[in-house]
Structure 1
């Protein structure tokens, strides 16, 4: 536990008592605590004095960069480990690389350090996710742009056949109190479209971005998808339109009313000859909340 939090004084006392930290200590220090990061001095002590290999890996196949890449203000420490030969391309047992971790970070400094050493910008993990996938889902528009300019494949698909549109929807966060010049969702969408990704195209299972956005229960997101010219009446492989899905899962009428106002057809039936009205009448959440669905007739 002492090694986990990187208290260099305590580490030195352990060594003085003949208790030499194992290679795992370096990775524990890199992992750190939730509130604090450790100093370059601590890492240098473990590598240069205790003689732990800078390239040490844990049982999951992760090296020190897997832990440092997603943390803020680690530039100096990361440069140190790059100089010690730690591999930014090292895939752990899940196929995740430090580059992928950096792509999902809230700043792009580490990703910029890594890019000159990247061997395959389009490497994918076991789920079929690339660094660009990570950037679209959790990173910044700047990270998305950096990867695209370096040749990241905008048409990458995961093992389930989903394109980056799925991860774009996952990335959506409601607007906070602070106003931003450009919404991250909009910025990412434009970058992807400019590189040729068709965000209006359905996924392998037939779901459109409308279908995927229903679970967010946010009209603002649906408005953004309307701007992307997605077919609001498309059916997925289960024979459901976005309106059908909303009728089955909504807690109130906001999403339903928006979809109708945006052009969702109320008379389309499922494979079981059910309309959105019929599905909404069976929705216990709507019934419990005394929501009238007569507007769906």
Structure 2
């Protein structure tokens, strides 16, 4: 009897430890986030869903893009991960890469055929996300790759307004060359010039004026760019606007 028990124990130790066990979705995505290639590949080979979700629709590919794990992006794609999957709020792998300035991931996703024009539920595209987080290299790559710009979000934001609010002259110049309405307004009546003047961005203000921005446009509060510059004590900008 004891001999049978010993044999069964040995059999379990030899074969039971090799049992192919899939982890839960969160653990798998932690492997992805940390760049643990071997564990990620092992779990995929065990049959874990490459499109499993956590946190209201976040897929492993989105997690890899958020954390700039390029090799894992390729691996997931090989296992048929949906490169254009969207979360409940509209997030995609491309949007996550753009917002976080992960240019390597953005390039890889584009190379694999990802749609760079999908938007969040509010209409924000990857270029706007890159502009908002001040990642000009990602914005430029997207624009050069054919991203559509100039389509206002639900609250009227455009890439030019966002870049002007941040004061990134390089981005503003880049977007001006692609955008045909320097005086577009958002939901609150604000233009790129108003946002630049309010924030105190002198170089952006000068550039927009040179390109024909209308300094007399008033927002919903009844204030124009000069009013905002004066209210925030940006007196050099007020001088430029009054010339």
Q: TM-score, normalised by structure 2?
A: 0.79
Residue 259 (str. 1) matches residue 208 (str. 2): yes
Task: Spell out the pairing of 1:206-285 with structure 2 (5 A cutoff).
Answer: 206-250=156-200, 253-284=202-233
More helix by share: 2
Q: Which runs of 5+ in 1 are unaligned?
A: 1-47, 175-182
Shift, 1:271, TM fit: 4.1
- 8 A Cα contact 1:104 1:139, kept in partner: no
Verify: 1:295 aligned to 2:240, yes or no: yes
1:159-178 alignment runs, 5 A limit: 159-170=121-132, 172-173=134-135
Contact persistence 1:169–1:209 (CA under 8 A): yes
Higher RCO (CA 8 Å, separation ≥ 6 residues): 2
Q: 1:139 to 1:68 in 2, by over 3 A?
A: farther
The partner residue of 2:53 within 91, 94, 98 is 91
Cα 1:109–1:230, aligned 2, differ >3 Å: closer, same or farther? farther
- Residues 214 and 242 of structure 1 are in contact (CA less than 8 Å); yes or no, is this contact kept in structure 2? yes
In 2: Cα distance, 1:170 partner to 1:295 partner: 26
SS at match of 1:213: helix
Cα RMSD for the two superposed structures: 2.8
Partner deviation per Cα, 1:196-238 (whole Å, 9 max, x = no partner):
x321322232221121123423222222222323522111121
Contact 2:202 2:236 in 1 (8 A): yes
CA-CA distance at 1:52 after TM superposition: 9.6
Q: Which deviates more from structure 2 when the two are superposed, residues 270-279 or residues 84-93?
A: 270-279
Partners in 2 of 1:145 and 1:184 — Cα distance? 9
2:140 is the counterpart of 1:186: yes
CA shift digits 1:51-74 (9 cap, x unpaired): 7943234xxxx232x1122334x3
Comparing 123-132 with 271-280, which one deviates more in the overlay?
271-280
Q: Is the 8 A contact 1:211 1:242 kept in 2?
A: yes
Moved over 6 A (4+): none
Measure, in 2, the Cα distance between the counterparts of 1:216 and 1:271: 21
Q: Is 1:135 paired with 2:85?
A: no
Q: Verify: 1:81 aligned to 2:43, yes or no.
A: yes
Query: Does residue 63 of structure 1 match 2:63?
Result: no
Distance (whole Å) between structure 2 residues aligned to residue 234 and residue 258 of structure 1: 16
Q: Which moved more, 1:122-131 or 1:224-233?
A: 224-233
Structure 1 residues 282 and 171 mapped into 2: Cα distance closer, same or farther (>3 Å)?
A: closer
